[in-house]
Amino acid sequence: MNLLEAVLQSVTQLPPFPAVIQRVLQLVEDPKTSARDVVEVIQYDQSITANVLMVCNSAYFALHRPVHSLAEALVRIGFNNLVEIILTRGTSFLFFQACQGYQLPSGELWRHSVACALLSQILADRLKQKKTPIQFTAALLHDVGKVVLAGFVRDHLEEIRTRVQEENLSFVGAEKATLGIDHAELGGRIAESWNFPPDIVAGIRYHHTPFLAPEFHDLVSLTYLCDVVALMAGTGGGADGLSTDGAKEVMEQYALAAQDLEEVIADLNGRMNKVEGFLKVP
Ligand SMILES: [Fe+2]
Ligand SMILES: [Fe+2]
């Protein structure tokens, strides 16, 4: 078995993606979905329900009266917030472990993932784009390929680093040159194997190469931007750090000035402080 085959084979060792969360993703893709449809799907899942109530009643929402049920949560925090809590909590199991090859201690990939998801809202607001659970999910799961690739990166870190220095490659480019695949492409394949909608798959697959995306350009570009800003904000900077291929066109397209970025990062830090309680590694 060559290295690429070994990497692809190891995808099968990932825990199964929860069926309820998969169903929620399909529902939010469908414009005919009502909030009630989502509640219908999750109401029998005790752990999701408990998580929704816990987050609703946390400092993040600062509600004056406690929320007691999913139906009440829907009214009090709205459909998008409800879906985002379900997706964030429902996918957290993927990200808690340390990512050794990337030199991210336990919980750091999770912090980075949540930072990107929050940035998708902050940046969409600032850029006057519509906020969608799809965009939120693509940002949240963009680095899922790292979960699988971390062990292979650890075993080949010397070679990857040498390529970065001697061949002038980005870290992600050196991953591909060394292992036959990088974490973005691998993440896209994982998302496909979980039957994710094609726009989320594209957001994950092209988050380092937005200029290569054949479609879903807005979503892919925003996912790229969220990742860059989340790294600048000090989350997820491990072995690869800021060693990524710059997509100058994307940065120019958004035309964010230094002042904008400072404000965006300050807003992110404020929100991260409030979600810190549910970012804790169990
Ligand atoms: Fe990445
Ligand atoms: Fe990332």
CATH at 119:
1.10.3210.10
Where among 67, 94, 121 does a domain terminate?
A: 94
Within a domain: 183: yes
The answer on 262 and 128 residing in a single domain is yes
Q: What is the pLDDT of residue 253?
A: 82
72 CA distance to ligand 2 middle (Å): 34
28 CA to centre of ligand 1 in angstroms = 24
Same domain, 52 and 110: no
Say if 66 falls within a structural domain: yes
pTM beyond 0.75, yes or no: yes
Same domain, 85 and 210: no
53 C-alpha vs ligand 2 centroid, how far in Å?
Answer: 29
Q: pLDDT per residue over 3-12, tens digit each?
A: 999 999 999 8
Residue 245 three-state SS: coil
Task: Report the b/e string of 69-105 with b at 16+ CB within 10 A.
Answer: ebeebbebbebebbbbbbbbbbbbebbbebbbbbbbe
Quick one: pLDDT at residue 247? 63
46 CB neighbour count, 10 Å cutoff: 8
Residue 136 shares a structural domain with residue 215: yes
**Cα 119 to ligand 2 centroid, rounded to whole Å:** 12
Q: Which domain holds residue 66?
A: 17-94
101 and 87, same domain (yes or no): no
Residues 167 and 43 in one domain: no
**C-alpha distance from residue 228 to each of 35, 178, 234, 240 (Å):** 32, 23, 10, 12
Ligand nearest to the CA of 116: 2
Q: Are 89 and 48 in contact (CB under 8 A)?
A: yes
Same domain flag for 236 and 106: yes
**Domain contains 212:** yes
Whether residue 6 lies inside any domain: the answer is no
Closest CA to 14 of 147, 108, 116: 147
Residue 40 CA to ligand 2 center (angstroms) comes to 33
- What are all long-range contacts of 262-266, with beta carbons under 8 Å and residues at least 24 apart? 264/119, 264/122, 264/123, 264/126, 264/229, 265/229, 265/232, 265/233
The CA 235 to ligand 2 mean position distance, Å, reads 9
Residues 6+ apart with CB under 8 A from 233: 115, 265, 268, 269
* Residue 121: per-residue pLDDT: 94
Which portions of the chain are predicted below pLDDT 70? 241-247, 277-282
Cβ neighbours around 33 below 10 Å, total: 16
Residue count of the chain, please give it.
Answer: 282
Both tokens of residue 209? 């190469």
**Eight-state DSSP code of residue 278:** G
**Ligand 2: distance of its center to the CA of 50 in Å?**
29
The pLDDT value recorded for residue 237 is 80
Amino acid in the structure at residue 214: P
Cβ neighbours of 62 (radius 10 Å): 8
Would residue 1 count as lying in a domain? no
| Structural domain includes residue 164 | yes
Query: Cα separation of 45 and 230, whole Å?
Result: 32
Q: How far is the CA of 11 from the centre of ligand 2 (A)?
A: 19
Cα torsion angle, 30, 33, 39, 43, sign: negative
pLDDT at residue 135 in the model:
94
Number of domains in the chain: 2
Q: How far is the CA of 242 from the centre of ligand 1 (A)?
A: 10
The Å distance, Cα 241 to ligand 1 centre, comes to 10
Examine the domain organization and report whether 235 and 128 are in the same domain. yes
Same domain, 147 and 57: no
For the CA of 204, the nearest ligand = 1
The DSSP output letter for 12 is G
Is 168 a domain residue? yes
What is the CA(154)–ligand 2 centre distance, in A? 17
CA atoms within 13 A on the CB side of 223: 33
